[in-house]
Every structure is written in structure tokens, then in C-alpha cells.
Amino acid sequence: MTAVLEKPTRQLTPKEPRQWKGPAVFVAVAIIALVVMPLVLEPFRLGLLAKYLCYAIVALGIGLAWGQGGMLTLGQGVFFGLGGYAMGMYLKLNDAGGDLPDFMVWSGVEDLPALWAPFGNPVFALAMVVVVPLVVAVLLGTLVFRQRVRGAYFAILTQALAAAMVILLVGQQGLTGGTNGLTNFFDFFGNDVAAESTQRGLYLTVAIVLGVLYLAAWQLVRSRFGRLLLAVRDGEDRVRFLGYNPATVKTITFAISAVMAGIAGALFVPVVGIISPALLGVVPSLELVVAVAVGGRFALAGAVLGAVVMGYAKTYFSEELPDAWLYLQGALFILVMTLAPKGIVGVATALRARVRKEASA
Amino acid sequence: MVEGFLNQLPIGLSIGAVLLLIALGLTFTFGQMGVINMAHGEFIMAGAYTAFLLQDFAGRSAVLVALPVAFVVAGLMGLLLERLAIRHFYGRPLDTLLLTWGVSLVLQQVARDLFGAPNVQVLSPTWLQGAIGPMPYNRLFILALAVGSVVAIWLYMNRSAQGRRMQAVMQNRQLAATSGINTGRVDQRTFFIGSGLAGIAGVALTLIGPVGPTLGTYYIVDAFLVVVAGGLGQLRGAVIAAAALGLLNSYAEFWTNASLAKVIVFAAIIAFLQFRPQGLFVLRSRALT
Amino acid sequence: MTALLEVRDLAVVFDGFRAIDGVDFTVDSGELRFLIGPNGAGKTTLIDIITGLTKPTTGTVVFDGNSLAGKREHERVRLGIGRTFQTSVVFEDLTVLENLDLAASFRRPLWSLLRRRKGVIAAVEQALETTGLADLAPRKAGVLSHGQRQWLEIGMLIAQGPRLLLLDEPVAGMSSEERARTGELLTSIAKDHTVIVIEHDMEFLRRYASQVTVLHEGKVLIEGSVDEVRADPRVQEVYLGRAREEAAHDAVT
Amino acid sequence: MRNSTWRAGAVAAALVTAIAACGGDPATTEGTASGGGGDTIKVGLLHSLSGTMAISEVTVRDAELLAIEEINKAGGVLGKQLEPVVEDGASDWPTFAEKANKLIAQDKVATVFGGWTSASRKAMLPVFEKRKALLWYPVQYEGLESSPYIFYTGATTNQQIIPGLDYLKEQGKKKIFLVGSDYVFPRTANKIIKAYAAANGMEILGEEYTPLGHTEYSTLTNKVVQAKPDAVFNTLNGDSNVAFFKQLKSAGVTAESMPVLSVSVAEEEVTGIGVDNIVGHPVAWNYYQTTETAANTKFVEAFKAKYGATKVTSDPMEAGYNAVYLWAEAAKKAGTVEVEALKKAAGGIALERPEGLVTIDGETQHMYKTARIGIIQPDGLIKEVWNSGEPIKPDPYLKTYPWAGGLAS
């Protein structure tokens, strides 16, 4: 038994060829995102890109949970919202400077609710951005995965969770701002949130956070845990007979994807200036899954690419052809699912393989 | 207060009847074929618009005429969807979910372009106006419709050769195929019936709710919850789950409010799945996934 | 020898059907035991109960002195019970090496899994050699033949260092060469492991089995050496008679 | 292999389209500040053209486009033609903020007409305040707001809710049940109603909220029927009204036995609800298609001529239509479309509009409006049965109502 734990002995398989293409592309994209984009795009468009990158962070988590782990989560909006509200509560209290936040005044709340009080502390609020989605995901994951609720059941449950979350938030107007959500922020850690310099800084922050989380996710996928995750995706019951508890593996992954969504939500709030139930319901959650499918769910890069491409497409078409957007979105979706289930990344891989084959022939 | 409390019992059953009608078709398409049809709501919508269109010919009793017509209309839409797209997706239930969501978006926009964005008016028959105690006639009509649909389906499943083939495919697709059942044909039939039931639900809903392009979106999540709680492809599971959720909803809303009632129902389903992860009734299978 | 596995008064009922009906069954440490019986005799169900996939209606299963009641599948694996399945399940998107490595790593603490695999650990290397899959190590498991998959599955078992191996029809669907190789593999494994094999194939049984337990309609019909079992008239009636019918049926389809 | 190439091609084409979308940055630089420099003046129209709110908002946009067309025919504003830039808020509040930013920063419009829900207004408010741009908001709302960069052309609470209550009180309805959708407007409205009731000897028997888009009203109907109120005050929104009235009707509730006063049901919604189900029930607004003014005859005719004879006009449409005229008038008075000058000039502007005389209150940037209670007729139109006699001064914080002391703090 102890032999299993022994250190590696000798190299049995030839060392894998040093991979340089992936890192090279990553660096190139990072340079474009961090240097080129801020120079080329006007502030308004840069702000939009920052928004898409926030969505890309959520998409990254979906790629991890769904593409790698086979958990189709239709409720990522919930975690996005939890992170967003944590940040929004801090910003609101900070702006109010000891008074009640504006929406509480017109909702007839007289004393600051106990739930809100600690969020005045930025460290606490930032911690909650991670902790609350983490706890909720672990709790839900433990309950659901332990009982082997999976596949379509899991998808439907997460969707219902998103629906229930919206109802809960809307119903607690004095606590959450109701349908309006939290909006009208002024100060972001000492900077005017609307100022161009702040917005550029926020864009860079979002881009860097995305990059870091991407690297972390990439590392995770390549690790033994990543192999295990694939194994759980393809044969959960078989994994159980290898002595692993798939529920633990799934819960951890689900929690990671939830934390990513939470961080994305927290960044989204200062970038866009609002967090409201409309952002975390069934439809926005589904739209992100769509984006991941379009980009290519089996590759982390596909998830990120999909979120950015779909974000741009939505903005572009709603500016140019608002009536056609629903048709286009639906049609794009049907096309991708039927013709290219592996998304843009899958198509690119197929094209490259073909070019290579022709070259060698 | 006591009277109000007692009234909630039939009200809960009638809510359950609505849930059952909207979920019945899904228990087949979802249960037999593992297809999560997000466009099910839009088939309901198609049924409702069928009733709207038939008013021009049938006047106030359009609802009655519309029942068989809507069954065929929605059924054919389902058949088309199955033939064109879904049959390529068997064994990939999560992909069908996303695919059919795309279909549902397109269908909503089609409805908007055909009938306009505002709700349209479907007048209910004069003979459905009135009530016995807390139960309006139109609710009784829906209850009868739900019971009728269940009985019809039960008879079909258990008394007809087609229905037995359907059950065979539901229980073991491969075995059914090797024993000479044309599973493709059975799938088409199942999808036709499942979607057709959505059409019937749509007609019934014109009696109590709005008729517009987004009609389907109001019901789809609830319908799936009924199926999940009842167990895949389980007629009796769907019936019991719909009744239970209807009653729970009715009393939860009576004691709290509509928003909280929805949250309570969701929490109850999660709790229930802790005991019965596969829903009320399960098809046994030895296959290892 | 001491009893490694003890099954007492075991019964399981599916919707009124008694799939296992009062089975007592003991396997000693180091034994190679064959479990045979016609279709529906309860062989796979028995293994399912031992590994936790099915809950018994009554009765106990004791492994190395510990009752297995209430233990979940992965916990039983951790106690040292490993199994394969009739239809082999390997992870097609992982390489052969990764499949084995995954199997071998199950005792590592979870956090240590977060690091990338570097090199090949001893248990995996040994499994590669025992199963003869070393050449295929970097290939995706999805490209393996049916026989190779079964060996990979057995290899994954060995890599876990289990104390009891349960093999469910390891040679079903194999060519005669593959059968022969599987038989050798089995013999070599049996040298230092306790193994229970479910098998239909009488030829295979005759060549590799020593101790045999025959199940019939959920009950133990007879236990003994291959020759004793083969000579028993009841076995010939229930098992061989059926087998002949099945063979006839197989020939038709 | 052939097959996969073909697939690859199809998706590559889709990808190219998407990339083209990224690159296609619509012309941004030609317009100068405040849209006043060129031959035309750009104005933004920002309503939901898709999603759940499209039903209502599209008609407001249509009314605004009609006003722009009419003004252009009459020679435009300051000698320049108006050029509408239409954006879709997609029933999504952050999208409203995003598009408002786009209209101001990129299209450099002189002003924006837009919004419907309170949430969309609250989402846009910081954008307009920070960029010092102007929004004209055309829908009745919950009050308690007075942004220096928003003009409110719909009613505030003292021009709709309170007159509605005055009407019920005059009718001798003392026991009221409150039903609303679960969001800001109904909750605020009901707070005001409760304060009013306490001060006027009325009794509130119940207060129920349902989620937006809720369609199952049998339990709520049971609660209402059990409470036996004299009247129901209904602040439900959108499709919920259809379900509510249908189910109320089938429970045997009629306008005679228990009138339901609605503040979010206008001419357009009546068809969807079914005239049968709502006939005889009262509503509270400032304008009906049947309102008898010369300006209204002209408005209804022009609207039907442009959009079809079956179209109806409603209060928010009229308020949107007014907004364009009021802005144009203020621009004329100020001699510029520059925001601060125009704001200064706007106070006191009075125009005869379809609803009657409308005057801009310079202090709150709300309008003086006449409150009107109407009854739904069998033909689906609404007949006025009561009005406030004269335009009511807007009081978004209800400062002039002693009983409302604790509300706005």
C-alpha cells in the first residue's frame, strides 16, 4: 500500500514536448488586453470590454464546472449576484458615510439592518465576495451531489435556484433595493467611480484578475485533480469504485466556479455601476452558458473567448439591428449546437488539423 | 379564516392541475428521451394562440374546438423539432437543453412578429363563468382536463400496442431496439404526444392567464420542477408531485405571501431530493453511467 | 488461512423478486474463487452488495473483521475492495497512463492532487508491466480494443493495491488469444492477491479455476473444486443445461 | 472529413461576422458637443424594444417619434431638424445605463427621452447626473425623487395615487385591500395609501405582493374575497394584471360588488386582459384616449394615421409625446439645446397638451397635471368620470400633505 505513495522512480514515457504555443498565445493576448486595448478603444468602449471580461470570468468558471466537470450550472448568476451585492453594499455604505443608503430611505427603513452593518468595512466586504459564494456553493453542492443529483436534474435545480434568488432579492426591498438593485455609486476606494482614470484602472484590474484566474484554472485542469475531474465527468460511478468520492470533487469544482462568479460580480459593480436582480436571473445565467458553448466548452480559452464574442455581438446587434437580436441569438445557438458542438475552439482545432494534414499530404 | 383555510384545499388542487397539465408532456419527452425541451413553454404558447385564432371561427366556444386543434398544432411543431434537430442529440441531454433554448427564443420572436408584442384577448365561454364555492367553473374545467389527459395517457400507455412499445423504449432503449421496435418511430410519436399535451395546456391557460409571446417563460421552470420531483417518465409521479406542489404552494402563499411561497416550494424540492434523489418513482436500471 | 470476506444470511429483494435469497459465503485470504451460475442467479448482485452498489435487504457482509454496513462505495474501496465491471469503463479522454495514475493516487490527500503529475509512480509502472500495456501508456484510453480495456481496468485495480479483487466476467467478448492472456494475467495476480471472478465460460473456468461457488436462483447451490462442481448433477442440470440453451441462442443471434 | 470542414466553414463564417461586429465602431467623432453643431440635432430615444417591457415601451417610442416628425415638419428646433437615435434598453436595467452612456458619450445627443420602469430610471440616473446630460422620463412613478438632470412628464404620487384615494373616499369605500407587484412603485404607493387611510378613517384589510410575471392568483383572490373589502387598490404590473382580472372575474367578483382601482392598466392593456374581465373597473391616470381637448383629437388622429387605425393611445404615450414638445419649447425659449441653459428656461413653460394644460414646475422638474379617474367601457376605451378640476402642483416628496410626514423623511 505504501508503494502507491512512493516518489516517482524513473521516466517511463518520453518527456512531453515543451509546450510553448499556449503560453505564447497567452502572453500575446495579455499584451493586447493590457496595452493595446486601452490605447485603441475610447473610454466608453473600454468600459464595455471591461464588462465582457467580467462575464468572461464567470464563463471561465462555467467552463471549469461544465466543460471539465460535466456539471451544467444554469444558476451562476446567483453567485455573480452574491459577489456583486457584497461589493455593492460596501460601496453604498461608503457613499452614505454613516447615513442610510438612499434606497433604504425611500423604502422606509429606519435603522441600518444588522446584515448590512459589517459591510461598511472594506476588508470584510471583499472577504465576503469570496466567502459567501463559496459557502452557498459548498452547501448546495454537498446537499445535491451527495445524493447524486446530476445531469439534467442538477441543471434544472440550479435554474430554479436562480429563479428563487431573484424572487427573494426583489421581495426584500428594504434590504436589497428590490428590482432596482443597488446603483448610483460615487466613490470607489478613494476614486470617483465614473472618472475615466478610475474606469481605465478598473479595466486593467478586471483584465489582470481574469488572467490570474485563467492561469489558476489552467493549472488546475492540468493537475491530477483536473484528470480526476474529467474522469468524474465521463464516469462518475466508476470514479467512486476507484476510491474517490465524486461528490467532493464536484463540490470543490462547483465552489471554485462559484467563487469566480462572485469575484466577477464584485468587479462588475464598479465597472457598470449597478447590481440588480435582473443580472442574476434565469436568462442572464443561461446566456453565459450559451456563450461558453459558442466559444467551446471543452477548452478554458473557449469559455473566455465565447463570453467576449457574445458580449460584443449582443452590443453590436442591439445597436444596429435590435429586432433581429433574438433571432440571431437563437439561430446562432442552434447552429453551434448542431454543427459545431465544440464551439469556436473546436472549429479552429479542426481547421488546423486539416491544414496540417493537407500540408503533409 | 376557517373558510379561507378550507378554500385553499380545492385551490391547491386546481393549482396542481395547472402544474400537471404543463408538466405532463415533459414527463414523456424528458422521461423517455432524456430531452430537456426548453421550447416546451413555447409549445404551450402555440396552443394558446391556436385558441386565439380559432375565435374568429368558433366564437366564444373556441376553447373546446381548440383543444384537439392545439394538440395537433403543438404536436406537429414538436415532431418537426424532433426530426430536424433533436434526433441528432440523443444521449446528450444537456446539449438539447441549450439547443431548445435557442429554439424557444426564436419561437418567441416569431410570435411577436406574427401577433404583436401585447397580450391578445381570448374570451372564455359563457358557460364557464360562475363558481361552486371557491372553485370557479373554469378551474373545474382545467381539473377535468388534467384528469382526462392522465386517464387518456394511462390507457394509451397500458392498453395500446403503441403505448406498450413506448414503455419498452422508456425502460430499455437498446433491448427494445434489438427486439424489433423501431425506436425512431416511437420517439417521434412520443415527441408528438408530449408536445401536443403542451398545446392542450396552452388552451387551458387562456382561461386564467395572459396570452402573449412570453407566456411560455412563466411556466417552464415550474413544469420542470414537477418532473424532477415526480421522477422521469412517471405518470403517477407527475400526478402526485403536481398535487403536492399545488397544495404546498396554496397553503404557503395563504400563510405567507406569493414571493415567499415560491421560495418555500423550491426549498421543499431540494429537501425532498435529499430523500429521493431520483424523484418519487424511479425506473430501475442496472446500467452504470 | 483466515477469512477475508464473510457473507452471512444475505438477501436482497427487488420489487418482490428475491435476487439473493439467503447466501452464506466465505473467501479466505489469498484465495482465487470463481463464482458461476446461470443468468439471473445473483452473481453480479452479490458483488454489487459487497462493493456497496446495492443495499442488502437483510444479512451482513464482513470484510477483514469490519462490518461493511453503512459504508459507501468509495469507503469500501479505501478498505481495499476493488472491482471491475462487465462492460468495462475506462476514462476515454485520459491516456492509459493517466487512467492508471488516477487509480493509484486515490490515497493521496486531496490538496496534493492539485499538483501536476511528474513522472510515473512505482505502482503504475508495475501495473503497466503486469498488464503489458506499457507501449500504449501515452495513448488515449478511447482508442484501446475491448480486450485492452479490460486489462487496463484490471491494471487500474492492481495499481490501487487492493486486498480483495472482484472481477465481473473479465473475458466476456474476448477472442481466444485475449482469453489466454487474461488467464495468465489472472494467474499472476492471484499469486499475491485475493480474487473473486464471476465467469460464464466453462473452458476458462476449467483452465484457471481452483475453488468454485455455484449460485442458482439467489442461493448457493454448491461449493468446491472445479472437478467436484463439474461432476455434480445439479450443476449440470441448472447450469450446463442453460448454458447449452444460451449457446444455441447465441448462435442464432 | 468533408463534413467537418463544412462545419468548420460555417462556424468560421459566424466568427468572422462576430469579429466584424467588434471592429465596427459606429461613427463617433463627427457630432460635436451637445449635438448642436451640425445641420441636425440628435436626440436619443431609449426604451425597451425587446424583452418583457417591450410591450409597453415600444408604443411610447412610437409616440415620441411622432412628436419628432411633427416638430420637424413644422420647421424643427432652432432651425434644425431633429434626428432621433433609437436604442434598445432590452428590459434590462444595466443595459439602460450602458445605452444612456453610449447616447451621451458617443452619439452626443442633446437630450434623451426614455425609460419606463423605476428600475430603469434609477439605473440611468447616475449616468445623467455624472455626465450632466438630460433625461425626459414619461411614466407615472413612485415619487420621492427629483434629480436635477431628469424631467418627469408622468404623474408623481400626488397626481395619481392620492386623487385615486380621494375618489374612493368620495364613493364611500372605506375598507381597502392592496394588491401589487413586488417592486418599488407598488411598495411606495402602498406606504402612501396606508398613511392616507390612517388620516382619512379608511381601513386597510390586507396588503399582498406577487413576483413580477406571476400568473397564479387563485390564492390571492381567495384572500381578497375572504377579507370582504369595499374596493381593491391595484398596483400590479404588466402580464400579472391579465391573470389577476381573469381569475378575479371567475371567482365572481364584479365591478359593482368590489371595484378594483388600477394605476398601471391603460387602454393598451385592456384588450390583453379581456374587456369582459375588467369592464366597469376604475383606473387613475392623467390622460385617456377619450379626453376631450382639441390637442387630443389631433394627437389621436395623427397617431392612428401613422401607426394604424386599430392602435390606441394611452397616458404614458401621451406623456412621452409631450416630453418632446416640452423640450423643444424649452430649447426655443433658451435659444440653445445646451443643458444648463435649457433647464433654466424650462421652468414655467406651459403648453396645451392632449391631457389639457401642462406646466413645467421649475423647482422639481415635474409637471402640473390634471388627475382623471376613468371607468373601463365595453368597447375597451376608458371614460372619465371624475377629475381634479385643475392641474395639480407636483409634490414628489408629499411635503404639503401633513399626514405624509413620516414617509419621505
Give me the total of CB pairs closer than 8 Å, taking one residue from chain A and one from chain C: 123
Q: Taking the CA atoms of chain B, what radius of gyration do you get in angstroms?
A: 19
pLDDT tens digits, A73-87: 999 999 999 999 999
Q: Compute the average pLDDT of residues D176-199.
A: 92
| Top-ranked range on mean pLDDT: pick from A320-334, B50-64, B219-233, D326-340 | D326-340
Residues C15, B288: C-beta atoms closer than 8 Å: no
- Taking the Cβ of residue D254 and every Cβ of chain B, the question of whether any pair is shorter than 8 Å is answered with no
Most confident of A311-315, B100-104, B174-178, D107-111: D107-111
Give the A-side interface with C, CB within 8 Å.
1, 3-14, 219-220, 222-225, 227-228, 230-231, 234-235, 237-238, 240-246, 248, 252
User: Any idea which of A1-5, A234-238, C234-238, D355-359 has the lowest mean pLDDT?
Assistant: A1-5
CA–CA separation, D26 vs D8, rounded Å? Answer: 29
D187 with A173: Cβ contact below 8 A: yes
Q: Which residue of B has its CA nearest to D212?
A: B259
Q: What is the ipTM of this complex?
A: 0.85
Set of chain B residues whose Cβ sits within 8 Å of the Cβ of D252: 130-131, 136
Query: ∠ CA(D263), CA(D264), CA(D265), 5° rounding?
Result: 100
Specify the pLDDT at position B33: 76
Which residues on B lie below 8 Å from A342 (Cβ)? none
Q: Average pLDDT in the D153-181 region? A: 96
Q: Could you give the angle at the alpha carbon of D329 between the alpha carbons of D325 and D333, nearest 5°?
A: 170
Side-chain-side CA neighbours of residue C203 (13 Å): 6
Question: Mean of the pLDDT values across residues B85-99?
Answer: 83
* CA-based nearest residue in chain A for residue B225: A156
- Contact by Cβ (8 Å): D35, D43: yes
Q: What pLDDT score does B280 carry? A: 67
pLDDT per residue over C180-192, tens digit each?
899 999 988 998 8
- Residues of the domain holding C203: 3-88+162-252
Q: Is D301 on the interface with B (CB under 8 A)?
A: no
What percent of chain D has a predicted confidence (pLDDT) above 70? 90
Q: What is the pLDDT of residues B221-259, one digit of tens each?
A: 888 889 888 887 778 889 999 999 999 999 999 999 888
The torsion of the CA quartet A101, A103, A104, A107, rounded to 10 degrees, works out to 170
Q: What's the pLDDT tens digit per position in D206-256? A: 999 998 888 899 999 999 999 999 999 999 988 899 999 999 998 889 999
Contacts of B286 in chain C (CB under 8 A): 44
**Per-residue pLDDT tens digits for C169-182:** 888 888 888 888 99
Measure CA of the first residue to CA of the last residue in chain D; give whole Å.
72
- Least CA distance to B103: which residue of chain A? A330
Distance CA D14, CA D6 (A): 13
3-state secondary structure of B283: coil
Rounded CA separation B40/B104 (Å): 8
The neighbours of chain C, by the rule of 3 or more Cβ pairs under 8 Å, are: A, B
| CA nearest neighbour of A80 among A47, A55, A51, A63 | A55
Best of A12, A215, A241 to substitute, by most chain C Cβ atoms within 10 angstroms, is A241
- pLDDT of B35: 82
Chain A residue numbers touching B267 (CB-CB < 8 A): 164
pLDDT > 80? residue D34: no
Looking at residue C226, which CATH number applies to its domain?
3.40.50.300
- The whole-angstrom distance between B2's CA and the closest CA on chain D is 10
Kind and range of the H or E run holding A49: helix A43-62
Q: For residue D378, how many other CB atoms are within 10 A of its CB? A: 9
* Identity of the residue in A178, A279, A343 whose CB atom sits nearest the CB atom of D184: A178
Chains B and D touch, contact meaning at least 3 pairs of CB atoms under 8 angstroms apart: yes
Give D190 to chain A, closest Cα distance, Å. 11
Q: Which domain holds residue A256?
A: 43-278
State which of B113-127, B165-179, B203-217 shows the largest mean pLDDT: B203-217
Contact residues on chain B for A286, CB-CB shorter than 8 A: 98, 101
> Listing from the earlier edge strand, what are the strands of the sheet with C164-168?
C81-83, C164-168, C194-198, C32-36, C211-216, C219-225
Percent of chain A with pLDDT over 70: 94
Residue C250 contacts B, CB cutoff 8 Å: no
Verify whether the Cβ–Cβ distance A225 to C114 is below 8 Å.
Answer: yes
Look up residue C137 and give its DSSP letter.
T
Q: What angle do CA A323, A329, A334 make, to 5 degrees?
A: 135
Number of domains in chain A: 1
Q: B-chain residues within 8 Å CB-CB of D225? A: 134
Closest CA to B94 of A74, A61, A25: A74
> Cell numbers of C246, please?
444460451
What is the average pLDDT across D377-401? 95
Distance from CA of B180 to the nearest CA of C (A): 13
How close B86 comes to chain D (CA, Å)?
18
Give the separation between CA B160 and CA A158, rounded to whole angstroms.
38
Strands C211-216 and C219-225: antiparallel
Look at D8 and A171 and tell me if their CB atoms are within 8 Å: no
- Which among C147, C185, C158, C154 has a CA at the least distance from the CA of C168? C154
Residue of B32, B97, B222 to mutate when probing chain A, most A C-beta within 10 A: B97
Residue-wise pLDDT for A14-62, tens only, equals: 455 556 778 888 999 999 999 899 988 988 899 999 999 999 999 999 9
CA gap B81, B33 in Å, rounded: 14
pLDDT on residue C245: 56
Of C103, C116, C119, the CB nearest to A223: C116
Q: What are phi and psi of D180, to 5 degrees?
A: -150, 160
| Predicted local distance difference test score (pLDDT) of residue D11 | 45
Distance CA D154, CA D159 (A): 9
What number of C-beta contacts closer than 8 Å exist between B and C?
A: 6
pLDDT at A2: 36
Question: Which range marks the domain in which residue B95 is found?
Answer: 2-275
Residue B283 located in a structural domain: no
Q: Show me where the domains of chain D are located.
A: 31-155+288-369, 161-285+371-404
Percent of chain D, pLDDT > 90?
76
| Domain D31-155+288-369 shares a fold with domain D161-285+371-404 | yes
- Residue C173: inside a domain, yes or no? yes
Q: Alpha-carbon torsion A178, A183, A185, A188, what sign?
A: positive
pLDDT tens-place string over residues C21-45: 889 989 999 899 999 888 888 888 9
Q: Do C85 and B284 make contact, defined as CB atoms within 8 angstroms?
A: no
Q: How many angstroms separate the CA atoms of B27 and B29, rounded?
A: 6
Which residues in chain B are closer than 8 Å to C87, comparing Cβ atoms? 288
Distance between CA atoms of A257 and A279, rounded to whole angstroms? Answer: 17
Chains near A (3 or more Cβ pairs under 8 Å)? B, C, D
CATH number of the CATH domain containing B28: 1.10.3470
Q: How many CB atoms lie within 10 A of CB B99?
A: 30
Closest CA to D82 of D74, D72, D97, D90: D72
Three-state DSSP class for D87? strand
CA-wise closest residue to C46 among C161, C194, C180, C214 = C214
| Residue numbers in A near B262 (CB within 8 A) | 163-164, 167
- Confidence (pLDDT) at D24: 40
Q: Which residues does chain A have within 8 Å of residue D106's beta carbon, measured at their own beta carbons?
A: 42, 44
Is residue B286 a part of any domain in this protein? Answer: no
Above pLDDT 70, what percent of chain B?
A: 96
- In angstroms, the CA C164 to CA C7 distance is 14
Question: What is A89-158 written as a DSSP string?
Answer: HHHHHHHHTTS--HHHHHHT--S--TTTGGGGSHHHHHHHHHHHHHHHHHHHHHHHHHTT--HHHHHHHH
Contacts across the B-D interface (CB distance below 8 Å): 122
CATH class of D31-155+288-369: alpha beta
Does an H or E element contain D232, and which? strand D231-235
User: So what's the pLDDT on residue D376?
Assistant: 97
For the stretch B127-136, pLDDT in tens is 888 888 778 8
- With an 8 Å Cβ cutoff, are B289 and A237 in contact? yes
Q: How far is CA C191 from CA A243, C17, D159, in A?
A: 23, 38, 94
Inter-residue contact C97 to A224 (CB < 8 Å): no
Lowest mean pLDDT among A332-341, B7-16, C62-71, D5-14: D5-14
Q: Write down the residue that cell numbers 378640476 correspond to.
A: D389
Reported as a single tens digit per residue, the pLDDT across A227-268 is 999 999 998 888 999 999 999 999 999 999 999 999 999 999
Mean pLDDT for chain A? 88
Q: Which H or E run contains B218?
A: helix B215-230
**Band (C244; pLDDT cuts 50, 70, 90):** low
Q: Indicate whether D26 pLDDT > 60.
A: no
Q: Which amino acid is at D395?
A: D
Give A19→chain C minimum CA distance, Å. Answer: 15
What total number of domains does chain B contain?
1
Question: Using an 8 Å Cβ cutoff, are D82 and D111 in contact?
Answer: no
DSSP string computed for B36-76? --TTHHHHHHHHHHHHHHHHHHHGGGHHHHHHHHHHHHHHH
Task: Give me the number of domains chain C comprises.
Answer: 1
Residues in chain C: 253
**Own/partner pairs, C185-189, CB within 8 angstroms, 24+ separation:** C185/C130, C185/C131, C185/C151, C185/C154, C186/C32, C188/C130, C189/C130, C189/C154, C189/C158, C189/C165
Whether the CB of A112 is below 8 Å from some CB of chain D: the reply is no
Contacts of B281 in chain C (CB under 8 A): none
- D147: pLDDT strictly greater than 50: yes
Has residue B288 got a pLDDT over 50? no
Would you state the cell numbers that stand for residue D311, as one nine-digit string?
Answer: 392602435
Chain A residues within an 8 Å CB radius of B216: none
Q: What percent of chain A has pLDDT over 90?
A: 54
C-alpha cell at B81: 423539432
Q: At the fourth CATH level, which superfamily is domain D161-285+371-404?
A: Response regulator (3.40.50.2300)
Q: Which residues of D237-255 are buried (b: 16+ CB within 10 A; e: fewer)?
A: bbbbbbbbbbbbbbbebee
For residue B101, give the C-alpha cell: 433554448
Instruction: Evaluate if pTM is beyond 0.90.
Output: no
- Mean pLDDT of all residues belonging to chain C: 86
Kindly indicate the confidence band of residue A361, based on its pLDDT and cuts at 50, 70 and 90. low
Name the minimum distance, in Å, from the CA of B126 to any CA of chain A: 36
Say yes or no to pLDDT of B178 above 70. Answer: yes
> Looking at residue D115, what is its pLDDT?
95
DSSP-derived letter for residue A162 is: H
- pLDDT tens digits, A96-148: 988 889 888 877 788 899 999 999 999 999 999 999 999 999 999 998 898 88
What is the nearest CA distance from A145 to chain B, expressed in angstroms? 10
What contacts D109, CB < 8 A, 6 or more positions away? D35, D42, D43, D44, D85, D103, D133
Asked if residue C152 is part of any domain, the answer here is no
Interface contact flag, C78 A243, Cβ < 8 Å: yes
CA distance A312 to chain B (A): 18
Q: Do B118 and D55 touch (CB under 8 A)?
A: yes
Within D144-217, where are the H helices? 161-170, 184-199
Among the listed residues D208, C80, B132, the one whose alpha carbon sits nearest the alpha carbon of residue A243? C80
